[in-house]
Amino acid sequence: MNNKNRLLLTWISFFSYGLTGALVIVTGVVLNDIADYFQAPVSAMSTTFTFLNAGILLAIFLNAWLMEIIPLRRQLIFGFVLMVLAIAGLMSGHTLALFSLSMFVLGVVSGITMSIGTYLIAYLYEGRQRGSRLLFTDSFFSMAGATFSILAGVLLARLIPWYWVYACIGLLYVAIFILTLLSEFPVLGKKAAGDPLAAPAAGEKWGIGVLLLSAAALCYILGQLGFISWVPEYATHSFGMNIKQAGGLVGNFWTAYMVGMWVFSAILRHVDLQRIVTLLAALSAVIMYLFIASDQAAHLHYYLFGLGFISSAIYTTIITLGSQQTRLTSPKLVNTILTCGTIGTMLTFVVTGPIVAHLGVKAALSTANALYLAVFVLCLSLGFVTRHRLHGHAAR
């Protein structure tokens, strides 16, 4: 594969993560305006965004098989058509049913592109460079989310209808579509005779390491979102902070998270991935415990900044290690771990909601802390069964 085509495919991966980040993170900014538009309570409108997450989960899950049946180029072109239809539905529809359907379609498009983007990085890059590239790719999730959240605030402040925010997000897919037309994609499934871009079919057994990593991905995402979702509530009720101060805590976390991704994208090239992810999970669990145990409001900012920075590399390192459990990169394997992480997203309020209702917010934070500890145990256990060193992935 020539360098130009590799670069085009890499940018498709960057924009695929940016698309998902923009769609997911912008929700909190536009929620009130959408509720006013449909004259519905905010609590009722928030549940309709479950359709977005459901679409992402379904697409990632099914694409583990569909990527070997439907060519990647065709999927991305079809995704562009779906994106146009979904945004048209948001702009022209005046019913909650059409809104929910459009959000589901946006989720499907996002899941398709994200699963393809993750596989492309795993296919294009080897060894420790793969982890570094995946981490840098994941940073586009946060960057796009922050950028489009600011853009959404500007548009809404100028009384521009909320659906134009999604039209702007759609421009990311326009970039993906143009890059798709200019690129050559690897052929999955049965190896195409004489095709230099053909990806060999993976027939290796995955091993118990994949099971451990899948469980770690689920626990990490559930723990992360279960923790950060309730931090504002905890800060306002336990420390008397106002909503702006509590929002600043969350901002510290995501800012440090983004910076951490950039820093670790360089560090991961020079360390063993299983050892570093075990260390990062342990440190994250300790910092989270210190946050929960602290009775000093002034210290909370430092703990969240540290937690965001230290934990930023965990998820993509888990995915990278999963892709390295077989000699050849398997799209099914990568998508399986992605699916488990997305299930963690879906379970966030299903798990933490009842805990808050019966035991309080601090109990939900402690549950998240236990999940981070579980990630540490799973990554430590991986050290006894991992195959990434056996397959030469530990070397650059």
Domain ranges of the chain: 3-182, 208-382
pLDDT in tens, 40-62: 876 567 667 778 888 988 998 88
- Residue 325: the pLDDT is 84
Q: Give DSSP secondary structure letters for 75-101.
A: HHHHHHHHHHHHHHHHHH--SHHHHHH
pLDDT tier for residue 34 given thresholds of 50, 70 and 90: confident
pLDDT tier for residue 19 given thresholds of 50, 70 and 90: very high
pLDDT in tens, 336-369: 888 898 888 778 878 888 898 889 889 999 999 9
Average pLDDT, the chain: 85
- Residue 170: the pLDDT is 95
CA–CA separation, 108 vs 53, rounded Å?
9
- Residue 190: the pLDDT is 53
pLDDT in tens, 258-267: 889 889 888 8
Winning range, highest mean pLDDT, from 148-152, 284-288, 324-328: 284-288
Q: Are 281 and 379 in contact (CB under 8 A)?
A: yes
Give the distance, in angstroms, between the CA of residue 20 and the centroid of all CA atoms in the same chain: 7
CA–CA separation, 368 vs 173, rounded Å?
34
- Residue 204: the pLDDT is 62
Q: Is the pLDDT of residue 197 over 70?
A: no
pLDDT in tens, 114-129: 989 988 888 888 766 7
Q: Is the pLDDT of residue 186 over 90?
A: no
pLDDT in tens, 229-249: 788 888 888 888 876 777 778
pLDDT over 90 percentage in the chain:
39
- Residue 188: the pLDDT is 73
Q: Which residues pair with 187 in a beta bridge?
A: 198
Query: Average of pLDDT values for 70-92?
Result: 94
CA distances, 243 to each of 182, 240, 247, 353 (Å) = 47, 10, 6, 20
Q: Is the pLDDT of residue 71 over 50?
A: yes
CA–CA separation, 132 vs 139, rounded Å?
11
CATH architecture of the domain with range 3-182? Up-down Bundle (1.20)
- Residue 189: the pLDDT is 62
Same topology, domains 3-182 and 208-382? Answer is yes
The model's pTM is 0.76
pLDDT tier for residue 395 given thresholds of 50, 70 and 90: very low
CA–CA separation, 276 vs 371, rounded Å?
18
pLDDT tier for residue 5 given thresholds of 50, 70 and 90: very high
Q: Does 208-382 carry CATH code 1.20.1250.20?
A: yes
